[in-house]
Amino acid sequence: MEEKKVLSMQNKCAGCGANLVFNPKSQDLFCDKCEAHYQIENDGQIVLHDLTQSVQKDKKYDDFVSQNKMFKCPNCGASVMLNQFEISKKCPYCEAGLVIEEDNFPGIKPDAVIPFQFNKEDAAKNFVNGVKKKFFVPNKFKKNMPASDINGIYIPAFGYSAKTTSVYDGELYEEHETKDADGNSTTERTYFKVSGTHSAEFNDVMVESSSKITQAEINGFLPYKTTGRKNYSNQYILGYSVEHYNQTVQECVPTYKSIVTKSIRAQILRKYEYNGVNYLNVSTEYNDEKYLYYLIPVYKFEYEYKKKKYITYMNGQTGRVDNNVPKSGLKIAFAILLPLLIVLIPIIIGIILGAGD
């Protein structure tokens, strides 16, 4: 692969010259050495873009992702390699937070960043608490959690907004049990037609555009409170590993539309009382479609349990832990059998009492 030289920026402490990194606790730049804080300049409004004016990939973008990029760490002078989509990382030699200068990003620039709300140490505590609340996790694992590699990363994502009007028609049914003279029960269905129009509004439907994570994975720790978003400044990402988008706004549209479609169907069905759906046709018109390019904070936990490798993600804003954790087969079996036992126990008791007659 070809290598390209790019310029990077860093922030130095005015007092002692040490490196500054973003501090989630105080939401500012912090100097580890002399403990000075520096406010992040964050002016200007976040303006949503019209989806009709979304930008396609161009040659500059293609060049950027097809090359490994080198920059000289301005702090220690080492050559630091960025791979494919990376725009920011910690210098592996001196730990300085480095970000490619914004003018060197190809394609569209991030509009908004949702800053990390807690640091790595607090992420580790949240992880323990989050996992303890999960019923399916083995007790052994809860009592003795293995050491984990924790990495804070910002994931590129597009947040889509739209107003929708849907026309629908379908057939639903209700089920009820009937008993014949011999006491045999059968289930009967009553079908009924439904139709109408349904309007809805969607804001910040998040679709990942990262090479590192899948939509199914981010669904495990969504949502983010987008009221906490900030106008993008590279100071928020200093010290973190960050990637540029790897799919364009247009390329992510099918994912956003499938999320919206699913939600519209659920909203329509909630209007009715029914036991099942025979069919439901929905045709939707989208209006006022907008998007924002977000960087969203994620903690990635990598560990081993019973010789198996696990990756668990945590929302870096809310602390929500996804379900990619060790699971106890026994507990799952119990959860499946419990409802059955509840039905069976009175019958068994009945039999026993009956036998005693």
Nearest 10 degrees: CA dihedral of 130, 136, 140, 146?
-50
Question: Which residue lies nearer to Zn ion by CB, 33 or 306?
Answer: 33
Per CB under 5 A, 131 contacts Zn ion: no
Secondary structure of residue 217 in the 3-state scheme: helix
Question: Which residue lies nearer to Zn ion by CB, 76 or 332?
Answer: 76
Could you tell me the end-to-end alpha-carbon distance of the chain, in angstroms, rounded to an integer?
A: 85
Question: Which residue lies nearer to Zn ion by CB, 78 or 269?
Answer: 78
Element (H, E) at 176: strand 149-179
CB of residue 243 vs Zn ion: minimum separation in angstroms? 20
Q: How far apart are CA 213 and CA 316, in angstroms?
A: 15
Per CB under 5 A, 34 contacts Zn ion: yes
Q: Is the distance from CB of 205 to CB of 73 less than 8 angstroms?
A: no
Question: Which residue lies nearer to Zn ion by CB, 96 or 260?
Answer: 96
Question: Which residue lies nearer to Zn ion by CB, 92 or 146?
Answer: 92
Query: Near Zn ion by CB under 5 A, which window of 17-25, 52-60, 106-114, 237-245?
Result: 17-25
Closest CA to 152 of 19, 241, 25, 26: 241
CB of residue 153 vs Zn ion: minimum separation in angstroms? 19
CB of residue 92 vs Zn ion: minimum separation in angstroms? 8
Position 24: which residue type? P
Q: How far apart are CA 259 and CA 266, in angstroms?
A: 11
Position 328: which residue type? S
CB of residue 77 vs Zn ion: minimum separation in angstroms? 7
Q: With contacts defined by CB under 5 A, how many residues of the chain interact with Zn ion?
A: 16
Question: Which residue lies nearer to Zn ion by CB, 93 or 191?
Answer: 93
Rounded to the nearest angstrom, the gap between the alpha carbon of residue 20 and the centroid of all alpha carbons in its chain is 28
* C-alpha to C-alpha distances, 47 to 110, 231, 232, 292, nearest whole angstrom: 12, 9, 11, 8
256-315 positions binding Zn ion, by CB under 5 A: none
CB of residue 36 vs Zn ion: minimum separation in angstroms? 5
Which position among 13, 238, 253, 260 is part of the footprint of Zn ion (CB under 5 A)? 13
Dihedrals phi, psi of 52, to nearest 5 degrees: -65, -20
Burial environment of residue 279 by CB neighbours within 10 A (0 to 12, 13 to 18, 19 or more): exposed
Query: Near Zn ion by CB under 5 A, which window of 8-16, 205-213, 311-319, 330-338?
Result: 8-16
Query: Near Zn ion by CB under 5 A, which window of 35-43, 140-148, 181-189, 334-342?
Result: 35-43
CB of residue 90 vs Zn ion: minimum separation in angstroms? 9
Q: Would you say the C-alpha torsion 5, 99, 112, 298 has a positive or negative sign?
A: positive
CB of residue 239 vs Zn ion: minimum separation in angstroms? 12
Query: Near Zn ion by CB under 5 A, which window of 7-15, 102-110, 164-172, 266-274?
Result: 7-15
CB of residue 75 vs Zn ion: minimum separation in angstroms? 4
Question: Which residue lies nearer to Zn ion by CB, 94 or 131?
Answer: 94
Structure tokens at 5: 């030289």
Question: Which residue lies nearer to Zn ion by CB, 10 or 148?
Answer: 10
CB of residue 78 vs Zn ion: minimum separation in angstroms? 5
Cis omega before residue 223 (within 30°)? Answer: yes
Task: Quote the radius of gyration of the chain (alpha carbons, Å).
Answer: 27
65-124 positions binding Zn ion, by CB under 5 A: 73, 75-76, 78, 91, 93-94, 96
Task: Report the interface residues with Zn ion, using CB under 5 A.
Answer: 13, 15-16, 18, 31, 33-34, 36, 73, 75-76, 78, 91, 93-94, 96
